[in-house]
């Protein structure tokens, strides 16, 4: 961490994907919002959408087309049940997948929940210059995921971070 640099605040949207969560009981979404605010980033939008691939894809598409949103965090819909469709909704929208995020998440998660971590289909990628991180819906998973994400969204993190790449995400060959 380069303590001589200032954090460059990023503009972040949070989407909770659930058929049962409301603003009153959305603990995972609240964890993400509280954490991003506590380190100095800005919440641009927060919504709750049902586990529906097409509704998820529609809102993500709108947000990746919105120049005011640099990062999207989702929570929920990454499991293996019939209603869990977040990866299927988002993967077709990605320009590039960041495979290391899911690998690191499951490695850290294994320390807590052992082999149950194989049920997590969390993922990350870039679409239209916007970072997207898809986390499981549990509070513990959101805390674990944020510990990975926060360092990569911190422009002071060395030797490198995702935040410093934002101006270059739209470069073409």
% the chain with pLDDT above 70: 97
Is there a domain that residue 63 lies in? yes
- Residue 2 counted as domain residue: no
Cis peptide before 159 (omega within 30 of 0): yes
Q: Is 1 a member of any domain?
A: no
Average pLDDT over residues 118-132: 95
Give the strands of the sheet with 96-97, arranged side by side: 42-49, 11-17, 71-75, 130-135, 123-127, 96-97
* Structural domain count, the chain: 1
Kindly tell me if the per-residue pLDDT of 42 is higher than 90: yes
**Domain-embedded: residue 173:** no
Q: pTM to 2 decimals? A: 0.95
Residue 75 backbone phi and psi in degrees, to 5? -135, 130
Which secondary-structure segment (H or E) carries 34? helix 27-39
User: Whole-angstrom Cα distance, residue 158 to residue 151?
Assistant: 9
pLDDT (0 to 100) of residue 79: 87
How many residues does this entry show for the chain?
173
Domain limits for position 146: 11-168
**What is d(CA 92, CA 75) in angstroms, rounded to the nearest whole number?**
18
Question: H/E element holding 16?
Answer: strand 11-17
Residue 15 belongs to domain with CATH number: 3.40.980.10
pLDDT tens digits, 131-159: 999 999 999 999 999 999 999 999 999 99
Provide the pLDDT for residue 6: 86
Mean pLDDT of 163-172: 87
- Residue 70 placed within a domain: yes
């Amino acid at each position: 961490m380069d303590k001589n640099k200032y954090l460059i605040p990023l503009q972040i949207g949070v989407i909770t994907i659930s058929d049962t969560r409301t603003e009153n009981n959305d603990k995972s979404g609240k964890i993400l919002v509280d954490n991003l605010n506590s380190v100095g980033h800005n919440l641009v939008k927060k919504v709750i959408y049902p586990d529906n691939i097409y509704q998820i894809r529609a809102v993500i598409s709108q947000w990746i087309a919105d120049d005011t949103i640099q990062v999207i965090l989702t929570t929920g819909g990454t499991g293996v049940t019939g209603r869990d469709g977040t990866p299927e909704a988002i993967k077709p929208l990605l320009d590039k997948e960041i495979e290391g995020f899911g690998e690191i998440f499951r490695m850290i998660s294994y320390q807590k929940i052992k082999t149950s971590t194989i049920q997590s289909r969390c993922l990350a990628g870039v679409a239209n210059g916007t970072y997207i991180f898809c986390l499981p819906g549990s509070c513990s998973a959101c805390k674990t995921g944020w510990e990975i994400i926060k360092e990569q969204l911190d422009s002071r993190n060395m030797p490198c971070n995702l935040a410093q790449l934002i101006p270059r995400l739209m470069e073409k060959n």
